[in-house]
Amino acid sequence: MNNRKIRVVVAGKGGVGKTTLTALLAHAFSRRGMPVLAVDGDPQANLAATLGIPASHPITPLTEQKAYIQEKIGGVPGRGGFMVLNPDVADVADRFAIPAAEGVRLLVMGGVQNAGTGCLCPEYTLISTILASTGYFPDEVILLDTPAGLEHFGRAVAEGFEYALIVTDESYNARAVARDLSRLARQCSIRQVILVVNRVRNGLEKPDIIGEMEGLFQKVWLLPHDSCITRHEPSVIPAVLDHCPIVGNIESLAGYILAHC
Ligand SMILES: Nc1ncnc2c1ncn2[C@@H]1O[C@H](COP(=O)(O)OP(=O)(O)OP(=O)(O)O)[C@@H](O)[C@H]1O
Ligand SMILES: [Mg+2]
């Protein structure tokens, strides 16, 4: 293994398991002794609960850190005006990331109105600058959980990430979204675009799906449906402590990522 940073963006249709996968991978990398920064890029912001942070823990998303936005970007919240478009945000994780578990910290981005249109407001400028600056953060592994679907996935989100994990289930619609995301990920010059087929029932032999997707992805990875996850949700920690079946598969996926960096 070399000392390169491992930056992974997780994307896919709604409800396919993006946040669960992000949280399980965060724990898998941290168990290997690698400091992890998990970034919640979904305005719905449920990565904290999935990582095991209690709901009572107060979290102010970055888009609501008005003083920081003013300090770094200027401009008028929600509108624009005179803004610094390329600020130094290397301090953002040290100032605002929340400890989630041993070796894992969490940065919650929050929502931006009209983010899909790439609005020129200070909040959007902050978020896109942070995502472009992850190489300056000290954490060895950066995992970015994204909102559902295609419309938020673009250069401002994914450029600079070496890995895209495109998550799907076995459904036709989720696979169609995954195919479109593979194209977008390649347009963002992401080197390793991996399809993760989640919640697979009746064994991990799916030659039809693997065959259909093989040319579009560097690798197709199958994860089992694991009732352990739903039994313990929202947190994945009990599933990790109980050595639930999916945890071994996630360990192997982390190993695959490390072997291909
Ligand atoms: N392998 C699995 N086995 C069983 N249940 C799973 C598995 N993966 C995820 N789930 C369950 O599926 C549901 C959706 O998972 P999750 O919230 O991670 O999806 P998501 O893609 O992040 O959703 P959203 O698009 O809303 O952000 C949750 O109830 C979760 O516990
Ligand atoms: Mg999610």
Report CA torsion sign: 127, 129, 133, 137. Answer: negative
pLDDT tens for each residue of the chain, 261 residues long? 446 789 999 999 999 999 999 999 999 999 999 999 999 999 999 999 999 999 999 999 999 999 999 999 997 776 777 888 889 999 999 999 999 999 999 999 998 866 555 567 899 889 999 999 998 999 999 999 999 998 878 887 888 899 999 999 999 999 999 999 999 999 999 999 999 999 999 888 888 899 999 899 999 999 999 999 999 999 999 999 999 999 999 999 999 999 998
Atom nearest to 227 CA in ligand 1 = 4
Nearest CA to ligand 1 atom 29: 230
In a domain, 68, yes or no: no
How remote is the CA of residue 74 from the centroid of ligand 2, in Å?
30
What CATH number has the domain bearing residue 27?
Answer: 3.40.50.300
- Give the separation between CA 130 and CA 136, rounded to whole angstroms: 10
pTM of the model: 0.95
How remote is the CA of residue 189 from the centroid of ligand 2, in Å?
24
> Residue 239 in contact with residue 51, Cβ under 8 Å?
no
In a domain, 126, yes or no: no
In a domain, 65, yes or no: no
With vertex at residue 19, the alpha carbon angle to CA 100 and CA 16, rounded to the nearest 5 degrees, is: 165
**Residue numbers of the domain that contains 244:** 6-60+97-113+139-259
Question: What pLDDT score does 1 carry?
Answer: 45
Q: How many structural domains comprise the chain?
A: 1
Question: What pLDDT score does 204 carry?
Answer: 83
How remote is the CA of residue 47 from the centroid of ligand 2, in Å?
7
The residue type at 233: E
Report CA torsion sign: 135, 138, 141, 142. Answer: negative
Please report which helix (H) or strand (E) contains residue 222, including its range.
Answer: strand 219-224
> Residue 104 in contact with residue 30, Cβ under 8 Å?
yes
In a domain, 74, yes or no: no
Atom nearest to 233 CA in ligand 1 = 31
Mapping DSSP to helix (H, G, I), strand (E, B) and coil, where does residue 253 land?
A: helix
Query: Peptide bond before 234: cis, by omega within 30 degrees of 0?
Result: yes
User: Token pair 């709604």 is at which residue?
Assistant: 14
